Amino acid sequence: MSRAASHLNFGWRFAPAAHPQYLEPGFDDSGLAVVDLPHSLVELPHTHALAESYAFAGTYRRPVDAGPLAPGHRALLHVDGALTASEVYLDGHRVGGHLGGWTPFTLDLTPHLDASGRGVLAVVVDGTERPDVPPFGGVVDYLGYAGLSREVRLEVVPPVHVADVVVRPSAVLSSSPTLEVGVELESVARRATRVRVDVTLQRLGDVVARAETSASAPAAAHGAPRSCLAVLRMEPGAVDLWQLQDPALYDLVVTVTGAGEVLDTASVRTGFREAEFRPDGFYLNGERLVLRGLNRHQSFPYVGAAMPRSAQRRDAEILVRDLGVQIVRLSHYPQSPHFLDACDELGLLVFEEMPGWQHIGDAEWQSRAVADVEAMVRRDRNRPSVVLWGVRINESPDDDAFYAATNARARALDPTRPTGGVRNVAGSRLLEDVYTYNDFGHRGTNRGLRPARDVTRARVPYLVTEHTGHMFPTKSYDHEGRRLEHALRHLRVLDAAYAAPDVAGAIGWCFVDYPTHREFGSGDRICHHGVLDAFRVPKTAAAGYASQQDATPVLEIGSAMIPGELDASEIRSLHVFTNCDEVRLFRDGEEVGTYLPDRDAYPALPHPPVVVTDLVGRLIERHEKFSRRDAERVKRILATALEVGVDGLCVRSRCWLTWFRLRYGLTRDKAIDLYLRYVAGWGSSAIRWDLEGYTDGVRVATARRCTDGAGRLDVQADTDTLVESVTYDVCRVVVRHVDGAGTRQVHTDVVIHLEAEGAGQIIGPTTVALVGGARAFWVRTNGGSGPLVVRVRSDRFEAQEVRLHVEKVPVA
Ligand code: GAL
Nearest atom (ligand 1) to Cα of 141: 10
Please give the Cα distance from 275 to 143 (Å, whole number): 32
Q: State the distance from the centre of ligand 1 to the C-alpha of 515, rounded, in angstroms.
A: 13
Q: Which of the 8 DSSP states describes residue 52?
A: G
Q: State the distance from the centre of ligand 1 to the C-alpha of 282, rounded, in angstroms.
A: 24
- Give the pLDDT confidence of 168-188 residue by residue, as tens digits: 999 999 999 999 999 999 999
* Residue 584 to residues 578, 591, 702, 723, 740, Cα–Cα distance (Å): 12, 7, 9, 44, 21
Buried b (16+ CB within 10 A) or exposed e, 476-505: bbbebeebbbbbbbbbbbbbbbbbbebbbb
Give the three-state DSSP class for 151: coil
Q: Where do the DSSP E strands lie in 259-331?
A: 261-270, 275-278, 281-284, 287-288, 291-296, 327-330
Q: What is the pTM of this model?
A: 0.96
Q: State the distance from the centre of ligand 1 to the C-alpha of 416, rounded, in angstroms.
A: 29
Ligand 1 test: best mutation among 143, 359, 395, most atoms within 8 Å of CB?
A: 395
Q: What percent of the chain has pLDDT over 70?
A: 100
Please give the Cα distance from 121 to 370 (Å, whole number): 29
Nearest protein Cα to ligand 1, atom 4: 141
Nearest protein Cα to ligand 1, atom 9: 141
Q: State the distance from the centre of ligand 1 to the C-alpha of 394, rounded, in angstroms.
A: 9
Nearest atom (ligand 1) to Cα of 142: 9
Helix axes 400-413, 363-380, angle to 10 degrees: 20
Which residues are annotated as catalytic?
A: 395, 466
Nearest atom (ligand 1) to Cα of 470: 12
- What pLDDT is attached to residue 644? 81
Nearest atom (ligand 1) to Cα of 331: 9
Nearest protein Cα to ligand 1, atom 3: 141
Nearest atom (ligand 1) to Cα of 471: 12
The helix or strand, by DSSP H or E, that contains position 644, with its residue range, turns out to be helix 628-644
**Amino acid letter at 181?**
V
Residue 684 has pLDDT above 70, yes or no: no
Q: CB within 8 A of 464, min separation 6: which ones? A: 436, 437, 438, 439, 449, 493, 497, 503, 505, 506, 507
Of the candidates 501, 202, 463, 492, the residue with the CA atom closest to the CA atom of residue 353 = 463
Residue 317 has pLDDT above 90, yes or no: yes
Contact 502, 543 (CB under 8 A): no
Residue 133 has pLDDT above 80, yes or no: yes
Q: What is the 3 state secondary structure string of 521-540?
A: CCCCCEECCCCECCCCCECH
- Give the pLDDT confidence of 624-674 residue by residue, as tens digits: 888 989 999 988 888 787 778 778 889 998 899 888 899 999 888 888 888
Strand 800-808: give its sheet, edge to edge. Answer: 721-724, 800-808, 786-793, 751-758, 767-769
The helix or strand, by DSSP H or E, that contains position 801, with its residue range, turns out to be strand 800-808
Q: Which of 12-16, 422-426, 640-644, 690-694 is least confident?
A: 640-644
* Residue 52 to residues 55, 268, 344, 526, 543, Cα–Cα distance (Å): 5, 40, 36, 15, 36
Q: State the distance from the centre of ligand 1 to the C-alpha of 470, rounded, in angstroms.
A: 7
Nearest atom (ligand 1) to Cα of 469: 12
Per-residue pLDDT band at 400 (split at 50, 70, 90):
very high
Of the candidates 238, 219, 99, the residue with the CA atom closest to the CA atom of residue 174 = 238
Q: Which of 76-80, 334-338, 666-670 is least confident?
A: 666-670
* Residue 76 to residues 23, 33, 92, 95, 110, Cα–Cα distance (Å): 19, 26, 17, 11, 7
Ligand 1 test: best mutation among 466, 471, 511, most atoms within 8 Å of CB?
A: 466
- What pLDDT is attached to residue 216? 95
Q: State the distance from the centre of ligand 1 to the C-alpha of 618, rounded, in angstroms.
A: 48
Ligand 1, residues at Cβ distance < 6 Å: 141, 331, 394-395, 424, 438, 466, 469-470, 509, 529
Q: State the distance from the centre of ligand 1 to the C-alpha of 141, rounded, in angstroms.
A: 7
Residue 384 has pLDDT above 70, yes or no: yes
- Give the pLDDT confidence of 743-789 residue by residue, as tens digits: 999 999 999 999 999 999 999 999 999 999 999 999 999 999 999 99
Q: State the distance from the centre of ligand 1 to the C-alpha of 292, rounded, in angstroms.
A: 18
Nearest atom (ligand 1) to Cα of 394: 8
Q: State the distance from the centre of ligand 1 to the C-alpha of 419, rounded, in angstroms.
A: 20
Q: State the distance from the centre of ligand 1 to the C-alpha of 810, rounded, in angstroms.
A: 43
**Count of other CB atoms within 10 angstroms of residue 175:** 7
Please give the Cα distance from 25 to 48 (Å, whole number): 38
End-to-end CA distance of the chain: 17
- Give the pLDDT confidence of 485-537 residue by residue, as tens digits: 999 999 999 999 999 999 999 999 999 999 999 999 999 999 999 999 999 99
Pairing relationship of beta strands 514-515 and 574-578 according to DSSP bridges: unpaired
Q: State the distance from the centre of ligand 1 to the C-alpha of 795, rounded, in angstroms.
A: 40
- Give the pLDDT confidence of 195-244 residue by residue, as tens digits: 999 999 999 999 999 999 999 999 998 889 999 999 999 999 999 999 99
**Amino acid letter at 62?**
R
Ligand 1 test: best mutation among 143, 330, 470, 518, most atoms within 8 Å of CB?
A: 470
What is the average pLDDT score of the chain?
A: 95
**Count of other CB atoms within 10 angstroms of residue 367:** 13
Per the model's pLDDT, the better-predicted residue between 623 and 682 turns out to be 623
Please give the Cα distance from 642 to 634 (Å, whole number): 12
Of the candidates 443, 438, 447, the residue with the CA atom closest to the CA atom of residue 602 = 447
Please give the Cα distance from 302 to 299 (Å, whole number): 9
- What pLDDT is attached to residue 227? 95
Q: State the distance from the centre of ligand 1 to the C-alpha of 516, rounded, in angstroms.
A: 11
Q: Kindly report the length of the chain.
A: 812
Residue 4 has pLDDT above 80, yes or no: no
Q: Which of 249-253, 574-578, 585-589, 808-812 is least confident?
A: 808-812
Please give the Cα distance from 576 to 607 (Å, whole number): 11
Q: State the distance from the centre of ligand 1 to the C-alpha of 135, rounded, in angstroms.
A: 14
Ligand 1 test: best mutation among 509, 525, 529, most atoms within 8 Å of CB?
A: 509
Nearest atom (ligand 1) to Cα of 424: 7
Contact 704, 741 (CB under 8 A): yes
Q: Phi/psi class of residue 50: alpha, beta or left (left: φ > 0; alpha: ψ in -120 to 50)? A: beta
Please give the Cα distance from 139 to 709 (Å, whole number): 48
Q: What is the 3 state secondary structure string of 210-277?
A: EEEEEEEECCCECCECEEEEEEEEECCCCCCEECCCCECCEEEEEEEEECCEEEEEEEEEECECCEEE
Contact 344, 337 (CB under 8 A): no
Q: State the distance from the centre of ligand 1 to the C-alpha of 469, rounded, in angstroms.
A: 7
Nearest atom (ligand 1) to Cα of 520: 10
